[in-house]
Amino acid sequence: MKGNQYDFIIVGAGSAGCVLANRLTEDTQRKVLLLETGGSDKSIFIQMPTALSIPMNTKKFAWQFETEPEPYLDNRRMHCPRGKVLGGSSSINGMVYVRGHARDFDEWESKGAEGWNYQQVLPYFKKAETWAFGGDRYRGGDGPLGVNNGNNMQNPLYKAFINAGQDAGYLPTKDYNGAQQEGFGSMHMTVKNGRRWSTANAYLRPAMGRPNLTVVTHALVHKVLLDGHTATGVRYEQSGKIHEVKATEEVILSAGSIGSPHLLQLSGIGNREVLEKAGIEVKHELPGVGENLQDHLEFYFQFRCEQPVSLNGKLDWWNKLKIGVRWILKKDGLGATNHFESCGFIRSKAGVEWPDMQYHFLPAAMRYDGKEAFDGDGFQLHVGHNKPKSRGTVHVHSADPKEAPRIQFNYLQHEADREGFRACVRLTREIINQPAMDEYRGEEIQPGTAVDSDEKIDAFVRQTVESAYHPSCTCKMGIDEHAVVDPQTRVHGIKNLRVVDSSIFPTIPNGNLNAPTIMVAERAADLIRGKETLQSLEAPVVMDEQWQVRQRSGEAKRQQS
């Protein structure tokens, strides 16, 4: 059955789709349809920051994808949740706000994404945010996205970790999203007035009162409709009924790094061999669709804490109830933070130009399901090597849109990635063994001091490493034969079709992906509307001038082992 006609159809109300829905409907003459497979985000488990582990593991709010057996991780199948709710993955993520290093975006341009270097994307990072401490040359002061430091590191363990980094010879950084990413400092999160500040809260909700925006939830898009090599609309299913809607200007896929390539493939756009194997008619051969898959891995170090200051004492049901009640009444306290309030960005070895390792510090020791890891006090560091060279795929499995695609990351396929994780183990131990942690540091629970050789470290990583939930790059932007979209975000060879989400990143940045995904959508909105893009900003970036010969930039305070 036929539905209405719109100027723009956006598929996916996630980190990018909500931004586009807001910005495109600022033009009152444009009629926009936003389609989302999931439903409402009005759940306490989504809105309360401390409950972050719940929506990610709930089928109602997230696609619970699983990878094929990963050959370099002892054939483990890895969990790959993606948002299926208004706000998408910004409604289920850890709310950590990291833009990435300036050189990550210069790298994008060097890969063929002209116009996406740091000076040209910085204005859009600023446009998107309101930084709690005010706008400046690097930070935004009046954007939709609220960004702060949670409870401002009230727990003493946060600052002890930052000081330990300096003891080890690394620099402090006042703002890793500003001039200097490298170093140790406070971590930022997308929380406003004590609530998760997803793109649904920041962008979509203010736009939903506009008469030119239509939001349809519980809508599973089956395919993009094509007339030859022109996108004309989409077919979707809602409550068992099939609908077709037309776009007079453009169809925009913002279904994420798993959903967008899968939908292109379902529409007959992609690698001929992959499509024919799935029984799908090839409408347009585009070999890069679903290739170039990248992600961040991480594992966590766990230590006993010698002082009764960790959050482990708050994990029983009674304390959780008190935290929840306080949050409901006041929107503050331990319920109003993701608890990752300090962090570090370092280089894994000399000869690495900008940081390729990231730390999230947590003043508790717990499992990924939010339960206590062991009796007593503890703390942990999530650490990962963030510039992987291994590449994976997202391949359609059948013509049935309800059947999940095959996801294969090939994690740790490349020796450089395995080397990076060895550095994660050794450099982390050195940092935690600095004087600043002496009064807190107890026994190393995980990995355990016996895990010390390359072979033992490699085995530990294979068995315990987890996804940081940052899949990206499967519809990469560029101009080479494997690029899926051009620097204007238009699908190569298909008129009136764009992809705007983290799938179009040419390479994965050093950091969490929500912030750069929002930036991409902000800039793409101007490109789609035919507006002049914001003027580039000349903003100095602090780099180690001796990066080729040293691994850290601070004073040489570290203890000799």
| Type and span of the H or E element at 118 | helix 118-128
**88 marked as part of a ligand binding site:** no
- Nearest Cα to 299, choosing from 424, 185, 164? 424
- Nearest Cα to 344, choosing from 171, 138, 189, 513? 171
Residue type for position 557: K
Rounded alpha-carbon distances, angstroms, from residue 501 to 11, 18, 264, 521 = 11, 11, 14, 7
Q: How far apart are the C-alpha atoms of 33 and 246, rounded to whole Å?
A: 10
Can you tell me which residue has the tokens 């990963």?
70
Rounded alpha-carbon distances, angstroms, from residue 13 to 34, 121, 281, 430, 486 = 7, 22, 28, 43, 22
**32 marked as part of a ligand binding site:** no
- Nearest Cα to 145, choosing from 160, 121, 129, 161? 129
The region, left, alpha or beta by phi > 0 then psi within -120 to 50, assigned to residue 152 is left
- 213-216 and 406-408 strand pairing: unpaired
Q: Is 142 exposed, middle or buried (0-12, 13-18, 19+ CB in 10 A)?
A: exposed
- Report residue 242: phi and psi, to 5°: -95, 130
Residues with Cβ within 8 Å of 395's Cβ and at least 6 positions away in sequence, in order, are 265, 274, 278, 290, 405, 406, 408
Q: How far apart are the C-alpha atoms of 343 and 159, rounded to whole Å?
A: 10
Residue type for position 533: T
**93 marked as part of a ligand binding site:** yes
**85 marked as part of a ligand binding site:** yes
**208 marked as part of a ligand binding site:** no
For the record, the structure tokens of 531 come out as 């507006």
Residues with Cβ within 8 Å of 560's Cβ and at least 6 positions away in sequence, in order, are none
Q: How far apart are the first and last CA of the chain?
A: 72
- Nearest Cα to 90, choosing from 208, 222, 168, 203? 203
Quick check: 539 and 138 in contact, CB under 8 A? Answer: yes
**499 marked as part of a ligand binding site:** no
Q: How far apart are the C-alpha atoms of 52 and 369, rounded to whole Å?
A: 10
Quick check: 71 and 181 in contact, CB under 8 A? Answer: no
For the record, the structure tokens of 201 come out as 């809260």
The region, left, alpha or beta by phi > 0 then psi within -120 to 50, assigned to residue 495 is beta
| Type and span of the H or E element at 197 | none
For the record, the structure tokens of 227 come out as 């007339």
Q: Which DSSP category does 255 fall into?
A: S
Can you tell me which residue has the tokens 């960004």?
147
Number of residues that make up the chain: 561
Q: Of these residues, 382, 397, 470, 482, which one is catalytic?
A: 470
Number of helices followed by number of strands (H, E) in the chain: 14, 24
Query: Is position 470 annotated as part of the catalytic site?
Result: yes
Q: Which DSSP category does 436 fall into?
A: G
- Nearest Cα to 226, choosing from 236, 218, 217, 234? 234
Binding positions for FAD are 85, 93-96, 221
Q: Which residues are catalytic?
A: 470
Binding positions are 85, 93-96, 221
